[in-house]
Chains A and B, each alone.
Chain A
């Protein structure tokens, strides 16, 4: 089953949020998901500490020396592996990318995110050449506005398209429900059904966005 790696040398772009959304939505679709937390900030482990959705198992504290082995152990029929990485340029990141069936590079629609995120895209290309293996990769824009597409976002999307880079549609909109997943654990459906979980935002819209994003990722791994 596919190994999906969330990579960007920049922190705070939404790697862990993407990882949580994909893990919980693929599990809801019926897959057995293994989420690997390779980020020293332990975002996925914090999410898991509040409760995991059915169908998701988490392995934490994975470092440079054991990332290849951990992915190999988790990879196999009947399981999707989702790897959340640290937001730095490290050997841990380059090793994880080498094991990917799909590398997703989350970027906020800013010039800085695009510039630093492009380092991950360049690394994927070079690993493809060195290993003689095609590693599918795509960018997802994160924390975008629900109301209007900014000029910067339009320009960035155009630049990515011109460079022949696959951009996942839809982008992930800035939704408080996504952030609150780390406070409540589990998934968006549980959040929707539990009135005690207060997000201050539209959970139904967040679910709609998460499902459409996961379907777009599924199209790239099937």
Chain B
């Protein structure tokens, strides 16, 4: 910015911005072909990031227990296995499980 500000005298004027005003503006615009051209979002469910397929064969009673537990928790079996993996990692990293021999 340079020089004196001779624009200082310019003042803000009220504008029509109520919901009713906007509705009226949209109607006038649409009549002349000024329509909503906002890009539509892709329909349908978002792709899951869980793309890795495991094929474990386990004992029937263990499989049934995992299935029931997942259902009770409102999770998929894959999500339950991920939680079990987190528990396993924590257990492996705990001091009680120190396998360094120190």
Binding site for B on A (CB under 8 A): 1-3, 9, 26-31, 54-55, 63-65, 68-69, 71-72, 75-78, 80, 88-95, 98-99, 101, 119, 122-123, 126-127, 130-131, 133, 218, 221-222
* B: number of interface residues (CB 8 Å): 33
Question: Which residues of B sit under 8 angstroms from A95, Cβ to Cβ?
Answer: 22, 25-26, 29
Binding site for A on B (CB under 8 A): 1-13, 15-17, 21-22, 24-38
Most chain B beta carbons < 10 A, residue from A29, A69, A93, A94: A94
Question: Which residues of A sit under 8 angstroms from B24, Cβ to Cβ?
Answer: 130-131
4 further A-B pairs in the complex, CB-CB below 8 A; given A64-B38, A94-B34: A1-B11, A1-B12, A2-B13, A30-B5
Q: Is the CB of B28 within 8 A of A127?
A: yes
Given contacts A65-B38, A68-B17, A133-B16, are A30 and B6 in contact (CB under 8 A)?
yes
Q: Is the CB of B32 within 8 A of A76?
A: no
Partner of B8, one of A78, A88, A98, A123: A78
Question: Which residues of B sit under 8 angstroms from A31, Cβ to Cβ?
Answer: 1, 5, 7, 10
Q: Is the CB of B35 within 8 A of A77?
A: no
Q: Is the CB of A93 within 8 A of B34?
A: yes
How far apart sit A108 and B26, CA to CA, in the bound complex (Å)? 28
| Shortest Cβ gap from B96 to chain A (Å) | 52
Given contacts A94-B34, A133-B16, are A29 and B7 in contact (CB under 8 A)?
yes
| Shortest Cβ gap from B66 to chain A (Å) | 45
Question: Which residues of B sit under 8 angstroms from A131, Cβ to Cβ?
Answer: 16, 21, 24-25
Most chain A beta carbons < 10 A, residue from B9, B12, B24: B12
Given contacts A29-B3, A95-B25, are A80 and B32 in contact (CB under 8 A)?
no
What 9 A-B pairs come out closest when comparing CB atoms? Answer: A94-B29, A30-B5, A90-B37, A94-B34, A31-B7, A98-B25, A89-B34, A55-B1, A130-B28
